[in-house]
Amino acid sequence: MGTVVSIDLADQLPAADLTKLVEQTCAWLHEVDARFSTYQESSEVCRFRSGKLTLDQCSPDMRHVLEACADLWRATDGYFDANATGRLDPSGYVKGWSIEVASARLAAAGSVNHCLNAGGDIRMRGKNAEGKPWRVGIRHPWEAEKLSWVLAVSEGAVATSGTYERGDHVFNPRTGKPARGLRSVTVVGPDLALADAYATAGLAMGEAGIGWLAKLSAQGYQSAVVTDDGRAFSSAGLPAAV
């Protein structure tokens, strides 16, 4: 996936158990990478999109991802588009989903206090090592070493999409042109895969995304936005730390 995953386990468990949990998490992420990599011709996603595999021959995970991407395409009015580049690339969903699954597996295996950060998209449960809610900083969109918000989250996900890191890599699928108007969009909610997709869609919408994101609060997804000209917006339910 070309990203770095930070795994932070805060449970009072024997070191050997924690090591095993980290290893299992890494094994799962490598499995996901092998299956969904768009860079390896042997991956399932590459074989599916080149027609070497039919949908029936795909794994349940692959079918789930395809279905979820279709659902998100509808839920975001087409602004989250796994086919935006002209060929299937579900990476925008797979990253959040794989971390979501990793977190659920950790919880099932006994780690109920952890924080997984995949390239700035974070899923956390329980408390940090100090027994307090996890504190998540949202990167300042102009100053990499500063934060624009600090959130306190015990259970849930925080995902940020922005134009500042890799330049024009988010496109408005309606116009085919790079997204303009918003510099950074953060979405906070129960599911990282959805939060990540909503953040990407909001960014692609441009300034109209501010109104669209506001409506997501009814579904439990809060947001914080910075425009290209430096205005900042946040929803009333954003779990800002005191």
Partner 1 sequence: MRRSTAAAVGTLTGAALIVGVRLSVSAPVVTAAPAAVDLDGSGAGGDPSPSKSASKKKEPTKKPTSAATSDAGAAGGGSGPADGTFKGKGVTNPYGTVQVSIKIEGGKITAVGATYPLTGESATINPAAIPKLKQETLTKQSAEIDAVSGATFTSKSYVESLQAALDAAGA
- Bridge partners of residue 158, in order along the sequence: 122, 188
Confirm if 5 and 118 have CB atoms less than 8 A apart.
yes
Least Å distance, CB 93 to partner 1, is: 13
Closer residue to partner 1 (CB): 4 or 55: 4
Nearer to partner 1, 98 or 163 (CB): 163
End-to-end CA distance of the chain: 35
Minimal distance, residue 208 CB to partner 1, in Å: 7
Closer residue to partner 1, CB minimum distance, 70 or 129: 129
What span, in angstroms and rounded, lies between the C-alpha atoms of 226 and 208? 13
**How far apart are CB 235 and partner 1 at their closest, in Å?**
5
For residue 183, the minimal CB distance to partner 1 (Å) is 9
Nearest distance, CB of residue 85 and partner 1, angstroms: 16
* CB nearer to partner 1: pick between 68 and 115: 115
Residue 156 CA to residue 78 CA, distance in Å, equals: 25
Query: Where do contacts with partner 1 occur on this chain (CB under 8 A)?
Result: 2-4, 6, 8, 95, 115, 117, 119-122, 124, 128, 134-140, 143-150, 158-166, 184, 186, 207-208, 210-211, 213-215, 217-218, 223-226, 229-236, 241
- The CA distance from 190 to 172, in Å, is 26
For residue 212, how many other CB atoms are within 10 A of its CB? 16
Which position has the token pair 């430096």? Answer: 230
Which residue has 């999109």 as its token pair? 49
